[in-house]
Chain A
Amino acid sequence: MAVVRPGKARETMEALARMGCPASTSFRVFGRGRQKGLRYASAEIGAQEITVRYLPKKMILCVVPDRHWRATVQTIIRVNQSGQFGDGKVFVSDIRETCRIRTGETQDAALR
């Protein structure tokens, strides 16, 4: 589960597909991190500070077999790392069960 910049989502999903994980779900979310959104001074309107409470992000959900999770995380970090605040987070959690609805396959067979 990754929260990334919206403009990087397509590139991320393509990179995941190249490393053998073509299946993912993504949706638009709003969020903020430790910086509480964005705060900046604009020259156009004087010294007044502008605050953006939430920034648009894209959340990508991706379920992979246990042996692939490190490579998946590395891929997401490599594609999205710009070194600026707001690059996003990657969270890894266990999925207890998976089932492909079409065939009823479960566990890793459902991911193939």
Chain B
Amino acid sequence: MKMIKAVIRPEKEFDVVGGLEKEGFNSLTKLDVLGRGRQKGVRVGGAVYDELAKLLIYIVVEDKDASRVVETIKKHAHTGNFGDGKIFISDVREAYTIRTGKNRL
């Protein structure tokens, strides 16, 4: 299994979640975060914003679905400007559903 962590623009949440829903991925966990990238925040005139509001999304899927989820997020979170965010993928060894205690997604 793979865990996909995506840092996206908060205003793109509906697009991304809607897109994932259409592909059949309903489950996710989300979290408001602050962050910055290689541009070290933004500078607007004299004002410097060190950290920008982002939305962090966690999704865990089977290995074979990982690339489809990443493509969907990429398509819907993309604006072409700095600050579109990043997607990180890591391995998950096991997943348990607490309700049933079973070892599956």
B99→A85 contact, CB < 8 A: yes
Which listed residue, A29, A36, A81, A92, touches B98 by the CB 8 Å rule?
A81
For A31, list chain B residues within 8 Å (CB): 27-30, 58
**Counting chain A CB atoms within 10 Å of each CB, which of B27, B30, B60, B99 scores highest?**
B99
Is A33 within 8 A of B26, CB to CB?
Answer: yes
Nearest residue in B to A59 (C-beta to C-beta)? B29
Is A34 a contact partner of B27 (Cβ separation < 8 A)?
Answer: yes
Stretch in B66-74, B75-83, B86-94 with 4+ CB within 8 Å of A: B86-94
The interface size of chain B toward A, counting residues with CB under 8 Å, comes to 23
Answer whether A90 and B95 are a contact pair too, CB < 8 Å, given A29-B31, A81-B101.
yes
Which B residues are in CB contact (< 8 Å) with A2?
A: 98
Q: Quote the shortest CB–CB distance from A3 to chain B (angstroms).
A: 6
Neighbouring A residues of B23 by C-beta, 8 Å: none
B3 interfacial by beta-carbon distance below 8 Å: yes
Query: Which residues of B approach A to under 8 Å, CB–CB?
Result: 1, 3, 21, 26-31, 58, 60, 90-99, 101, 105
A interface vs B, CB < 8 Å?
A: 2-4, 27, 29-36, 54, 57, 59, 73, 76-77, 80-94
